[in-house]
Amino acid sequence: MNSTKTVSFIGAGNVATHLAKALYKNKFLIKQVFSKSFTNANSLAKKVNAQPIDLLTQLSPNAEIYIIAVPDDAIEKVLKQFPFKNKLVVHTSGSVGVDVFSKNGFSNFGIFYPLQTFSKNKIVDFTKVPFCLEANTKTNLKSIEAVAKYLSDKIYPINSEQRQLLHLAAVFACNFSNNMYQIAFEICNQHQIDFDILKPLIKETASKIEKYNPLEVQTGPAKRNDKKTIQKHLSLLENQKNYQEIYRLITESIVQSLVHKS
């Protein structure tokens, strides 16, 4: 196992919080936590016995790896202000390419992307989290892999193009699916129906893809070509045009998937 054990975090949000706490639990020394908000930096730093800072000029050169866990649109801004160009620096984004480092003059860099949805107060079991890794050299990839292996054995060397497409797929699988739950919640709430009634159905649907291709377990009126029910549903959504359009588009997508299968 590689000896990279001293880490500094740039960012104190959901991803940084879970990663820092998990690495600290695995006996890593968390050197510093940076956030533009000293309050946020201090809150996380206290949990991992680190020094909180709110200026990148205060960053110590003594960490072995620097993990940038900030919103995607802030990564390049951070890199432009980052004081060390030769240290090993990684970001945790699914959508930002590895070239963001080289074009900003860095010589040792990579991607440390945990493919999971994070909420600050919900515990994450990292042993079940896939880590998608990329680096500019084999040595750096080995160092990043060594860190990831303390958390999970689900390690995937994936290039930037693959990772960006994987992130796109994850948006459909996670973010869009969650929005479907929200729409269902609102429909239930508007008509005084307990949303909990749907939860066993949601869990059963999600569990099926552990063993099956999603198309193999597709059900519902679109699968059955039940035009009468589809039309009835569209009529029920007459006063909610945005939901009606979503219903129509998803129905058409299911139909097209089934056509392509056959």
pLDDT recorded at residue 262: 63
pLDDT recorded at residue 122: 81
CATH homologous superfamily for the domain 164-261: ProC-like, C-terminal domain (1.10.1040.20)
Cα→Cα distances 179→19, 47, 137, 175, Å: 26, 32, 39, 6
Pair of tokens at residue 156: 């995937």
Stated length of the chain: 262
- pTM, 2 dp: 0.83
Rg for the chain, CA atoms, rounded: 22
Q: How many CB atoms lie within 10 A of CB 187?
A: 16
How many degrees, rounded to 5, is the angle at CA 185 between CA 235 and CA 209? 95
Q: Is the pLDDT of residue 147 over 60?
A: yes
Q: How confident is the model at residue 1 (pLDDT cuts 50, 70, 90)?
A: very low
Torsion of CA 49, 33, 22, 73, to 10 degrees: 170
Domain boundaries, the chain: 6-158, 164-261
Whose structure tokens read 């200026």?
55
CATH classification code of 6-158: 3.40.50.720
- 109-127 confidence digits (pLDDT tens): 999 999 998 877 788 899 9
